[in-house]
Each structure stands twice: as structure tokens, then as C-alpha cells.
Structure 1
């Protein structure tokens, strides 16, 4: 598995992100989706990475610097054909390492509740994330779940 920075213009990446956006909107009540669109993923405070096997896209993820040593995981998505192969774990581990290297001391995330988000929550728990309250500009809802871990 080859992890690469960027690639936001690659057609396979655009397609996977559009699938991600559609999936989040379909599985979430109105007003509870907080994904970054393509323009926001290209912002200077965001590190966007993709995982590849040769020229086949396996998944993606992003790290957004929030300031004061705090970072946020965003846009974690594994291609359907690559599920259950450790892609998300590899991307997550890479982003945690990148966060540490950037001086981030706390990494947080927002995800949903319910069956569509169970695998993501299990992944984050396995990697040391614990439930927390809303952070940054998020607000508490019955649907959104927040998690964090010290680095």
C-alpha cells in the first residue's frame, strides 16, 4: 500500500469523495453532516492523503489543523473493493504520525451514530480514541458523536 499526499484532482479520488459525500448525506439527518468539500480539503491547514495499490485507489483521509495543538480527522473513506483490508487503519496511523510530526498534541473527530458508522467508531476506539464533547464549532446533537485522543 502506497500512501500519497494530495491527489485531489485525480478522477478516482474525486469519485470516491463524491461517494463519501453522498453516503454521509444519505445516512445522516439534515443538518448533521460536517464533511469538507473538495475546495475545503485543498485548504492549507488540511493534509489530505490517499492510499493506493498500484494505480488503484484504496481510500483517503485528512488531517485539519485547528490551532493550539489541536487537530481533527476528516474525510476517512475506504473504497468498497478495499474494505476489510486494513486500509482505514493504515491511513489513520499515517495521519496520527503526521499530526505528531506537525506538533499536534490532541486529535479529535466527529462521526455519526447508527449502523452506517459502527465500523468507523470501532476503528477509532481500537486506535485509542475515546468519547468526548463537541469541539471547535460543533454542537451536541443526538446523532453526532465526538471522539478524541492525546498524542
Structure 2
């Protein structure tokens, strides 16, 4: 079993109705018709053992959304560990205040064989849409393994 290490950024903003967080709907054919548990914080794997988690989080934010990560104070949300197939995945995250327009997002892409066993590679966006959600709605949108970050975030709000 190979462990996988990833890092991500939970961007939040203050609104009259309360706090909202930015999530991306996972791209590709497996997620196209799903909504509940089909959203994620911008995240991705470290490039090397020398890359810090925070540097990986910042880089992945830019790769997934095509925009720089906000520069504000980064709030450490710790790590979650979950399984994906035979792999154990470690995801470290930070929250940072920022405000961006989802219309400005230019998602990165990935390739995969599609349709399965066809021998053809197809290109898909890392995220197919990005939106702001209140914390209650976000909890239902996020994949189960990332939900602890929302609880930690609300516990550490400045």
C-alpha cells in the first residue's frame, strides 16, 4: 500500500447572512451527475518530499482554479486520513479569507481513459464548477472525509 500526501485551501468570506466557503465540484464523468459529497476544497498531491504541505496547497489551488491562493492569514485546520482503494490518503488543509468570483476560475485539466477500457484518453477539467456555500450547505456538498475541516474551521474562526 502506498500512502498519498495532499494539501488544500478552504477559502472563506464574510457575508451578511454569515460565512461562506468556496468549493469546487469534482470534474470528470464519474462526478458529472452527482451533487451531494461531490464537491471538494481545492487540493492536490505534493510534487516531492521536499515540497512543504503549505507550498503544495498554494500550488494546487492555482493549478485547480487558475487563480492565486489568497494571501491572508492561513488558519491551520490539521490533517484528515482516509482510504481511497488500497491507498491511505493524508490531506492537510488551511483556511484563508478571500473573495473571488467563480466566473474568473479557469480550471486545470487531467486526462484519463474514457470510456473505460476504450484505449482512448479524454481530457476533463479538475473542477467543472466552483461556488460559494454557507457552512450547513457546504457540509452536505463536501465529501465525507473533508467534512472535519468545516468543524475545525468553525472552532477556529477569528
Instruction: Give TM-score scaled by structure 2 length.
Output: 0.28
The one of the two structures with greater contact order (alpha-carbon pairs below 8 A, sep at least 6) is 2
- Higher helix content, 1 or 2: 1
Q: What's the TM-score once normalised by structure 1's chain length?
A: 0.29
